[in-house]
Structure 1
Amino acid sequence: MSSVLLAVTDLRTAGEAYLEHIGRADEYGAVDLVLSLLDGGVPAERLLLELIAPAQRRVGELWAANEWSVAREHGATAVSDRAVAAIAARARTAPTRGRVTVACTDGEYHALPTRLLAEVLRLRGWQVDFLGASVPGPHLITHLHQTGPDAVALGCALATRLPRAHATLTACQAVGVPVMAGGAGFGTDGRFARLLGADAWAPTADAAADHLDRGLPGFPEPRQALGHLADEEYTQLVRRRGELIGRVMTVLAGAYPPMAAYRDDQLDATADDLGHIVDFLAAALYVDDAPVFTEFVGWTGGVLAARGVPPEALGVGLRIFHDELRDFPRARHLLVQGIEAAHPDTDLEI
């Protein structure tokens, strides 16, 4: 077996052990494991992208399948953050290139993927200012004025953050700093990065680093106008968010009899779920992209099913939203598609 194949095999085996450590919130075990691999010759970038990143994806899958609790998922993520810090400290590289500011867009709290990017860039010789989760746009712009970076790398994991990401990247460009967009929120193909006018997009941390190695080319096509926002459906939906959720909760209590037996925590969880529906519906309206909403509905159905909530509960909620939003034709059309995504084998009459 070649040394390359041996390294891959060892890393895959190590991944199982690493997941076990973080699943127990075993910080010392996880850090000892990654540092032993680093000392054994596995490159730091591979540890970040081929060990820690896949483990975190698996953590998300285990939570969605209701095999891990929220507390266990949070503990695992905290341990991974410590493991990243340990690798970064051991593999510290002196800056030999320009300066990059790395931040999560305002409202985005999934910081670990963006942190991985920051550390990969440091390993490649960039001076990096990592600002962490949910950086308000005005504060980011102040930082740019104070530090004068060559580029901003903006992370967005959820499509619900796209309106704020749009405002942030536009403000960065207005002060002369190009923006590299990344994260699942911008679309698996980067289509929302293009739509919102980012200077570049990359699907992974190493691809983003490669982009910066070559410079920051702009997208070849001109920025698209968001003319669909003229109908103000997005603005009005966001404005009515709280009122709408309260109204749907009230109607849902009468339309879905099992709610009568819900505990307070179940009622709170239902209100949270309705809030997520509104937020993804608003995001889909903002970028005029139905899959933003329908894919969320499909994912939500799976998450609820894993927790014993029947699919008709989601369908009833979506129908109520549809009926409540009488003056929102685009939103109603998206909701019809969402209902179809929740019940793909059912003939609908709406």
Structure 2
Amino acid sequence: MGDKVKDEQRIPVGISACLTGEEVRYNGGHKRSRYCLEVLGERFAFEPFCPELEAGLGVPREPIRMVGLEGEEPRVVGTRDPELDVSERLSTVSREFIARHRHLRGFILMKGSPSCGLERVKVYRPDNGMPSHSDAGAFVRELRRHFPELPLEEEARMNDAVLRENFITRVYAYDDWKRHLEDTPSYHELLQFHSRQKYQLMAHDVEAYRELGRYLADASKQPLEVSMAHYLERFMTALARPATRKSHANALMHVFGYLKTALDGETKQDLLAAIDDYRQGHVHLAVPIRLLSHYLKRHGSDYIRAQTYLNPHPYELGLRNTI
């Protein structure tokens, strides 16, 4: 997969420890993810964490589950011994982890776990022990509460090409933010970030693209930290919405607009046909992107060539060859 990425260039990403092969599950097993370790591991510097182990639950251990009524925060208790309530301990170790790991650019989670499950984790009724509804795991709820901008995804959901590409796009976009705005925050850097992420944003959420453009026009009237916090929250929320073929085609047409006057009629027709083939599902996104990039190299302005949308993550990962 191309040249090996140097350690200092890899992006720090959290991961449920069991996905790295660590034997930390309740039954002493693991859920090693080959894709994470062998493919993403070349690009990401993984930092494993198991909230249950950190909360003092040994290996092996009594399984835990979430219990509660709909509309209330579930408790996390033992499946055999409901007196074993680890809710507070899990909450504490999760918050301590977040405080120490603000440098992370994403987190890959274990599906179905009462601590690490992203969604659809069963919550049981306290009276009869029957499944009642579903929620996110206890660790995930703390991440969303105290680190809402952090990209999250379940390892199992990354079998879906669109969700996989979406998560990795968010990780790289957040890395761009951290590298350019964290140490040297300024209105100029904020506007530069928006400028290069514009069509990426448009492909995911055209309303957020318009709204943030309007917001930045007056952002300098507010304290910088207020403007940055508002922008980041809205931007990361917008990117979490997976782009569709229709929304990608819209962004591609806008990028194509920067080439209109530079190309002959036949070349323009070829590009438009590639975009339409993609929109109709006949080819993958890589096809129109490669064509556009080819002509933008020769005829595009610095502004359009700087768009992260054209190259949001390493080409070697091949993510746009499958969507």
Bigger RCO (CA 8 Å, 6+ sep) = 2
1 or 2, which has the higher helix percentage?
A: 1
Quick check: TM above 0.5?
A: no
Taking structure 1 as the reference length, what is the TM-score of the superposition? 0.26
| TM-score for the superposition, normalised by structure 2 | 0.27
